[in-house]
Structure 1
Amino acid sequence: MQKKLIKVHPGDNIAIALVDLWKGDQPEFEGEKISILADTKAKHKITLVDLEPGDSIYMYGVLVGKAVSKIRRGEVLTVTNIKHEADSTAGRTETLKWKAPDISRWKDRTFMGYHRPDGQVGTNNIWLFFPLVFCENRNVELLKEVFEAELSFKKAKKQRQLLRNLISGEDIQAFDEEAGEDREIFSNIEVKFITHQGGCGGIRQDAVALSKLLAGYVNNPNVAGATVLSLGCQNLQVDIFKNALSEINDNIQKPVLIFEQQQEGTVDDMLNKIIKESFEGIRKANEIQRKPAPLSKLKMGLECGGSDGFSGISANPSLGYASDLLAALGGSPILSEFPELCGVEQELVNRCVDDATADRFLELMRAYEKAAIASGSGFDMNPSPGNIKDGLITDAMKSAGAAKKGGTSPIEAVLDYGEYVTKNGLNLLCTPGNDVESTTALVGSGANIVVFTTGLGTPTGNPVAPVVKVASNTILARRMPDIIDIDTGAVIRGEKSIEEMGEEILEYVVKVASGEIQSKADQLEQDDFIPWKRGVSL
């Protein structure tokens, strides 16, 4: 018989409904029957004890809310009867202890990656085009049209085929191969293009932050070389970008071609020069071949989006176990989304390897929350309508589940936005909770693959790093199979353990990193890129 309720920590006073429950149901839980007082959808929470106004609510063993009205045992928790509440945080209060998982089956494993001169290893081989300022977006788009048409890097033509049929009134089954529409000039490299709305008009700090992000993309091991477009008069000057790149890697050996329009003359002259020089760089980069690399060369971004009430008990802890495996192997898992760590700060502080690392985490968290409050918001407003609808009704409740992606390993480093990962082991990266902004930042900090958990379905991808989607429940995986790579619903049904699912996730990551499997996001050509703008426009 399937379990109907689950409590994730012995100290919790609420339980999660694993199936829809109806008023009058009496599911058995911990040896006794609980009377359900109102219809409760799966993923939502009921209280296991009577609560009075002001009483604390615990989930995952941490404070996630306070009752604002009387809540009887068996009653569903809602946004009207509880509010966000989180424990205060001090410095490290416990000695760091960690029992690493058994990695005997993984220690000799390799993935097939692209080795770079600086010792990093890519899971992709990409030539990247991007602007330093939004004024150059049109030129980047023109170059994209030219390169994609002639090199045939884009394969998704179903909608173009449909439109062609509608225009002609005929059922044309395939494109004319003799016309060259399906030919592929290079087989071992991809050309990607990103645009953005920054580089000028904001505060100088935003230009500097953007320069660090873009420099991180150039330095990412998945990038073989880059073509950079500048206007000339913008805040994000070429020298600022070069300095940012030098700070990350003062001896970068991959080609970086920079063109400044105000120094080049006409648009046609500049584009012709860019095409000639970039083509030569792409041709040479196509000669780079995949070779074996240890799993310690993986930098795995840990992301979640469109979370539901099951995310924190299936997909996230499963990814957390995969993260622990990678950390034990000497790789670098990266946990981001600081607004979604609210309420679990003490646990994370206690996992920091030293006081300086713990202090840096608290400093960044407090500064971020202070800025959110100053803007008229706050971390307590983080849950989205979709989160709330599916049972995540306070930020602390959402955060406690989201933090499970980071497993239990020691935190080796804490990075601000735009800083690059240099240490093996778990890294914390200060980013927003916004899915695309956070994923964008993870790759800018060196992630060569991202694993993204979701309970509602989110089609986020990235132009440089593969994004692997992990569903928290089987209903989602079956409803949206075109965006989901891995289904962790078996954990909810009790058919697989967290550890078994974590190993399955890491196995899939190795195959994607080796080019054996293409992630669904890459199949959909979901190339999302949104820099985080912290300042105001001037």
Structure 2
Amino acid sequence: MSANVKKSFLQIHPDDNVLVALQDLPKGLVVEWNNQTITLQDDVHAKHKFFITERAVDQDVLMYGVLVGKATAFIPKGGLMTTDNVHHAAQDYAYRDVNYQWQAPDVSAFQNRTFNGYHRDNGEVGTANYWLFIPTVFCENRNLDVIKEALYNSLGYNVTDKYKQFAKDLLNAYQDGQAIDSFQVDSLSALNPVDNRVFKNVDGIKFLNHQGGCGGTRQDSAVLSNLLAAYADHPNVGGITILSLGCQHLQANDFLNDIKTRNPSFNKKVLIFEQQQSQSEDQMIKDAILKTFVGLTEINEMERSPAPLSKLCVGVKCGGSDGFSGISANPAVGYTSDLLVALGAKVLLAEFPELCGAEQNIVDRCVNKPIAEKFISLMRTYDAQAHAVGSGFHMNPSPGNIKDGLITDAIKSTGAAKKAGTSPVVDVLDYTEPATKPGLSLVCTPGNDVEATTGKAASGATLILFTTGLGTPTGNPVCPVIKVATNTSLATRMNDIIDIDTGAIIRGEKTIEEMGTEILEYCIKAASGEITPKAVLLNQDDFIPWKRGVSL
């Protein structure tokens, strides 16, 4: 059996010994490749890989031009790559004093462009204007929930009213004797949060519920304090309300000192309420609502005004990745990253467990030896901690990743690293360290979607580009998250959470450069408040502090 399989498979790098199926290919199909014929030995589903040449046990498997695995069994030419015949492997890495040369993309079309943001006194520019509620300890989470319900319902930030109405309609149908199992589920109304907001220049009221601040170790509370301080100092935050119990490890004064250490000129309005010093819980909650309301009227006086694109700080993240992630969405976002760096903006790449296999390329791109050595030290320490508890970076891929073609962590990671483009690495930041240098910085976080986005925002990201092949409803309280789909099927099926579709790259209808340019245009509109990303519309305010334990 033979067929014309043009655009049905792809070799990512000339050195690769596997091809990626761009559509489902049946067993027995004969494909023509570089003057040779390859007969498929298995059904190969879209996103999966088949071998150009046979592999003996322990022979290298190459993708993206690097080692991504070793054969664990004989694999015939045309055989399917699976977890049964390939296991994770990655080349070692070290500092090599490479004189890395970067060819920046042409940014003349964006050179004089601006976005409309919120200018802060320290010179930073936010893409949003939020009021932030911070508990110093988990004991205050319930009080935050009470305040959230009160303010969301009264000030127009509640996006769940349509679901409440649906539940009421369902109850009425049940009480009227209708058969509930045949109840018609109509499409819920579109979200229009801006239309309902009382304070038009306050993009949201956000709540950082967490499980820390006491118990655990004092070091845990210190790390949490630095994280919360980073959020208080974030360019997208206009004011802060702090709820404290009083007896916890993380004292309010220590938290305020951490803010001042981070930013000595910090001057945002901060309201502090300590429950053990209050007349009653009822009075404390009412006081917090009252004084926060006054604060909201004050930050509502702020208005957006033009800022150069160099004031953007964009995090790049992937989650629910698939076999197309490293081919479509990630390289497209990588081109956006290069455009931003060429314009003088900041770009943040995190997820250290998902850089396994891409380390040497990253080390070679570091602008000096100390930065490279800091990256190497953080990576090796993190991986050693994982091995110490019987795990390792090689165990990072999830069942969903594997099902959709990411057989080893090195395959997943080398594709994930494409989000960072090709620019030099100007800095390496440990968890909660702020990004201060224009260009590409690495941020040490887990691969876990929420822990990574939480850490990326702490380092100053004012937008996050989040690529996904399977669909992930992750957002962040203070940093708008833009979802970029790797394939059109996902973008169509989950259009309520996806903002951008890069499936045209897979179909050969658009180039990576064209798609990356479109993504930057979207970023400019989102940063200006002209477009609201779906994660923001849905109040997907995910926040998980990392305790510096093993998390992949």
> Which TM bucket (shorter chain)?
over 0.9
> What's 2:327 paired with?
313
> What's 1:87 paired with?
91
Alignment match of 1:160 (pick from 157, 160, 164): 164
User: Would the aligned equivalents of 2:97 and 2:369 in 1 still touch at CA under 8 Å?
Assistant: no
Give the letter for the 1:492 counterpart: I
> What's 1:186 paired with?
199
Q: d(CA) in 1 for partners of 2:375 and 2:29? A: 45
> What's 2:33 paired with?
29
**Residue pairs, 1:101-180, within 5 angstroms:** 101-169=105-173
Alignment match of 2:304 (pick from 287, 290, 296): 290
SS at match of 2:316: strand
**Residue pairs, 1:298-309, within 5 angstroms:** 298-309=312-323
**Residue pairs, 1:107-506, within 5 angstroms:** 107-169=111-173, 184-189=197-202, 190-506=204-520
- CA RMSD for the aligned pairs? 1.5
Superposed CA offset, 1:467-490 (max 9, x none): 100010111111111111111111
User: Would the aligned equivalents of 1:213 and 1:445 in 2 still touch at CA under 8 Å?
Assistant: no
User: Would the aligned equivalents of 2:157 and 2:196 in 1 still touch at CA under 8 Å?
Assistant: no
Superposed CA offset, 1:128-181 (max 9, x none): 11201100101111111111122122244221111222333499x9xxxxxxxx
Alignment match of 1:65 (pick from 69, 82, 87): 69
SS at match of 2:340: helix
Percent of matched pairs sharing the same residue: 57
Q: d(CA) in 1 for partners of 2:207 and 2:502? A: 33
SS at match of 1:262: helix
SS at match of 1:34: strand
Give the letter for the 2:165 counterpart: Q
* Distance change in 2, residues 1:305/1:59 (3 Å): same
Q: d(CA) in 1 for partners of 2:482 and 2:350? A: 16
SS at match of 1:24: coil
Give the letter for the 1:534 counterpart: R
Alignment match of 1:7 (pick from 5, 8, 11): 11
Q: d(CA) in 2 for partners of 1:8 and 1:166? A: 51
Q: d(CA) in 2 for partners of 1:394 and 1:512? A: 35
Q: d(CA) in 1 for partners of 2:533 and 2:160? A: 14
Give the letter for the 1:16 counterpart: V
Unaligned runs of 5+ in 1: 174-181
Between 187-196 and 299-308, report the one with greater CA deviation.
187-196
Q: d(CA) in 2 for partners of 1:240 and 1:375? A: 33
Deviation (angstroms), 1:202:
1.2
Alignment match of 1:54 (pick from 35, 52, 58): 58
> What's 2:78 paired with?
74
> What's 1:40 paired with?
44
Between 252-261 and 120-129, report the one with greater CA deviation.
252-261
Q: d(CA) in 2 for partners of 1:328 and 1:156? A: 41
Give the letter for the 1:191 counterpart: I
Q: d(CA) in 2 for partners of 1:196 and 1:75? A: 48
Give the letter for the 1:66 counterpart: K
Between 231-240 and 74-83, report the one with greater CA deviation.
231-240
Deviation (angstroms), 1:535:
4.5
User: Would the aligned equivalents of 1:12 and 1:58 in 2 still touch at CA under 8 Å?
Assistant: yes
Q: d(CA) in 2 for partners of 1:257 and 1:109? A: 37
Give the letter for the 2:200 counterpart: S
Q: Aligned residue pairs: how many? A: 527
Q: d(CA) in 2 for partners of 1:92 and 1:241? A: 41
Q: d(CA) in 2 for partners of 1:248 and 1:428? A: 19
SS at match of 1:91: coil
Q: d(CA) in 2 for partners of 1:161 and 1:275? A: 26
* Distance change in 2, residues 1:236/1:105 (3 Å): same
Q: d(CA) in 2 for partners of 1:510 and 1:9? A: 32
SS at match of 1:105: helix
Q: d(CA) in 2 for partners of 1:166 and 1:68? A: 55
Q: d(CA) in 2 for partners of 1:221 and 1:489? A: 33
Deviation (angstroms), 1:232:
1.4
* Distance change in 2, residues 1:183/1:29 (3 Å): closer
Between 394-403 and 3-12, report the one with greater CA deviation.
3-12
Alignment match of 1:524 (pick from 526, 529, 538): 538
> What's 1:176 paired with?
none
User: Would the aligned equivalents of 2:133 and 2:206 in 1 still touch at CA under 8 Å?
Assistant: yes
Q: d(CA) in 2 for partners of 1:345 and 1:535? A: 21
Unaligned runs of 5+ in 2: 177-183, 187-194
Superposed CA offset, 1:369-411 (max 9, x none): 1111112211000000000000101111100000000000011
